Amino acid sequence: MDYKSIEVKDNYIVLKDAANFQLQHIFECGQCFRWNRVSENDFIGVAYGRVIELVKEENDVIIYNSDEKDFYNIWQEYFDLNRDYSKIKNNLSHDPLLKEAVDFGYGIRILKQEPFEIVNSFIISANNRIPLIKRAIENISKRWGTPLEYKAQTYYAFPTPDQLVAAEEQELEACGLGFRAKYVKDTVNKIYNSLQGVEGFEQYNIYDMARLGADGCHNALQLFSGIGPKVADCIMLFSMDKISAFPVDVWVKRAMMHFYLAPDVSLKKIRDFGRDKFGEEAGFAQQYLFYYARENNIQIGD
């Protein structure tokens, strides 16, 4: 467990002695799109139909706009607080090359995000850049999501399947999705039908996929159009607790080549290489590498 205790206050919670918890590392390491920086130690985000503000004060983390019930029902798991990241970092740091990336992103934690939001967010992420991904998701939330008030401002939850099923392909396109609009439209339909119990759609229940093993989950996600191996790995890792997933995008590929001289081969080969090398904790290794490579803008040959 990576905190000592919680203090329950009036509309906020204090996490005492939060270890391995740096807001910038968590929210800017590429895993999430709905968090915005107020300052280095202050971020506001929307998740699970709530807007919360996190402030780091010395070793404590304050969760504003929350109560004890939400903490135990949502945030404890969302922030992966029951996991001991010192142990993971220690294991990964036996490799002196990976240690450099771990030391750089020492406060990263993998968030356990809402599957419907993450499936659609990572379909939108394909061949896209993070600022544009964030804007598209924000547009979708504004158009179909539930409004939430905080400090006299309006935020919007990511829409539920019931809400998003009303979206037309052209409307999604207009949110900045481009060619991905048809994939989101098709995926939302399939998920909606599976949740309604429509015959023939059983295999699209994303809330039931985590019980499959890592390979089963990887295959099941690729039944949706717009989800290939990389996007499936991101979804598994960020919303289905599959910590051995090793998503390889261009940054992870560059990092692997930079550190390990993994030959310049297919993403699939690098995925196999990474899973083989880092084993059960490959997902964490991937996140330290992604953050390190992107923040340092590493290029092949560096």
> Interface residues with ligand 8HG (CB under 6 A)?
30-31, 125, 128-130, 234, 247, 249, 252, 286, 290
Instruction: Select 13 or 270, whichever has its Cβ closest to ligand 8HG.
Output: 270
* Token pair of 133 as six digits: 């991904």
Phi, psi of 42 (to 5 degrees): -150, 115
Cβ(44)–Cβ(27) under 8 Å?
no
Alpha-carbon distance of 72 to 190, in angstroms, equals: 31
Q: Per-residue DSSP letters for 111-159? A: ----HHHHHHHHHHTTT--HHHHHHHHHHHHHHHSPEEEETTEEEEPPP
Closest chain position to ligand 8HG (CB): 30
Collapsing DSSP to helix, strand or coil, 16 comes out as strand
Instruction: Select 138 or 249, whichever has its Cβ closest to ligand 8HG.
Output: 249
Instruction: Select 125 or 194, whichever has its Cβ closest to ligand 8HG.
Output: 125
> Smallest distance, Å, CB 13 to ligand 8HG?
27
Cβ(234)–Cβ(276) under 8 Å?
no
Alpha-carbon distance of 151 to 166, in angstroms, equals: 30
Q: How many CB atoms lie within 10 A of CB 133?
A: 20
Instruction: Select 38 or 250, whichever has its Cβ closest to ligand 8HG.
Output: 250
Instruction: Select 94 or 129, whichever has its Cβ closest to ligand 8HG.
Output: 129
> Smallest distance, Å, CB 50 to ligand 8HG?
22
* Of 27, 29, 21, 23, residue with least CA distance to 293: 29
Instruction: Select 54 or 248, whichever has its Cβ closest to ligand 8HG.
Output: 248
> Smallest distance, Å, CB 252 to ligand 8HG?
5
Q: How many residues does the chain have?
A: 302
> Smallest distance, Å, CB 148 to ligand 8HG?
24
> Smallest distance, Å, CB 247 to ligand 8HG?
4
DSSP state of 227: -
Residue type, 284: F
> Smallest distance, Å, CB 297 to ligand 8HG?
11
